[in-house]
Amino acid sequence: TILKKGKVTWASPSNIALVKYWGKKENQIPENPSISFTLEACKTETELVFEPRNGTHDSFSFEVFFEGEKNEAFKPKIETFFKRIKDYVPFLKQYHFIINTSNTFPHSSGIASSASGMSALALCLMSVEKLLNPKITTTYCSKKASFLARLGSGSACRSIEGDIVVWGQHSEIEGSSDLFGVKYTEEVHSVFKNYHDTILLVDKGEKQVSSTVGHNLMHNHPFAQNRFKQAVENITTMKTILKSGDLKAFIALMESEALTLHAMMMASTPYFILMKPNTLEIINKIWEFRAETGLNIGFTLDAGANVHVLFPENEAVKINEFINKELVAYCQNGHYICDQIGFGAKQL
Ligand code: PMV
State in Å: Cα 156 to ligand 1 middle: 8
pLDDT, residue 55, reads 86
pLDDT, residue 166, reads 98
pLDDT digits (tens, 9 = 90+) for 64-95: 999 999 999 999 999 999 999 999 999 999 99
State in Å: Cα 22 to ligand 1 middle: 7
Same domain flag for 218 and 169: no
Tell me, using a 6 A CB cutoff, whether residue 17 lines ligand 1.
yes
Same domain flag for 207 and 229: yes
pLDDT, residue 109, reads 61
H-state helical runs in 133-205: 138-152
CB 143 within 8 A of CB 175: no
Same domain flag for 201 and 98: no
Distance separating alpha carbons of residues 206 and 213, to the nearest angstrom:
14
Task: Name the domain boundary from 128, 161, 188.
Answer: 188
Q: Is-cis flag, bond preceding 302, omega within 30?
A: no
Task: Name the domain boundary from 169, 188, 207.
Answer: 188
Phi/psi for 91 (5° steps) reads -85, 0
| CATH number for the domain harbouring residue 239 | 3.30.70.890
Distance separating alpha carbons of residues 221 and 228, to the nearest angstrom:
11
Tell me, using a 6 A CB cutoff, whether residue 275 lines ligand 1.
no
Same domain flag for 154 and 95: yes
**105 — pLDDT class (breaks 50, 70, 90):** confident
pLDDT digits (tens, 9 = 90+) for 142-182: 999 999 999 999 999 999 999 999 999 999 999 999 999 99
CB 313 within 8 A of CB 197: no
Query: Mean pLDDT for the chain?
Result: 96
H-state helical runs in 72-136: 75-85, 114-132
pLDDT, residue 181, reads 98
Nearest to 25 by CA among 189, 130, 154: 154
Q: What's the structural domain count of the chain?
A: 2
State in Å: Cα 155 to ligand 1 middle: 5
CB 57 within 8 A of CB 110: no
Query: What number is the average pLDDT over the span 6-31?
Result: 97
State in Å: Cα 211 to ligand 1 middle: 7
**94, amino acid identity:** Q
pLDDT digits (tens, 9 = 90+) for 261-271: 999 999 999 99
The beta-strand segments (E) located in 104-172 are: 164-167
Same domain flag for 107 and 176: yes
pLDDT, residue 108, reads 62
Q: Would residue 175 count as lying in a domain?
A: yes
Q: Is-cis flag, bond preceding 30, omega within 30?
A: no
Question: Which of ligand 1's atoms lies nearest the C-alpha of 16?
Answer: 14
pTM over 0.90: yes
Q: Would residue 346 count as lying in a domain?
A: no
Same domain flag for 324 and 201: yes
| CATH number for the domain harbouring residue 33 | 3.30.230.10
Judged against a pLDDT cut of 80, whether residue 279 lies above it is answered with yes
Nearest to 302 by CA among 34, 20, 13, 44: 20
Phi/psi for 250 (5° steps) reads -60, -50
Distance separating alpha carbons of residues 341 and 164, to the nearest angstrom:
8
Judged against a pLDDT cut of 80, whether residue 107 lies above it is answered with no
Tell me, using a 6 A CB cutoff, whether residue 302 lines ligand 1.
yes
Q: Within 13 Å of residue 272, how many CA atoms lie on the same side as its CB?
A: 19
Query: What number is the average pLDDT over the span 298-303?
Result: 96
Question: Which residues constitute the domain of residue 43?
Answer: 6-188
Same domain flag for 124 and 265: no
Task: Name the domain boundary from 188, 217, 243.
Answer: 188
**104 — pLDDT class (breaks 50, 70, 90):** very high
pLDDT digits (tens, 9 = 90+) for 206-262: 778 889 999 999 999 999 999 999 999 999 999 999 999 999 999 999 999 999 999
Q: Would residue 119 count as lying in a domain?
A: yes
pLDDT, residue 207, reads 76
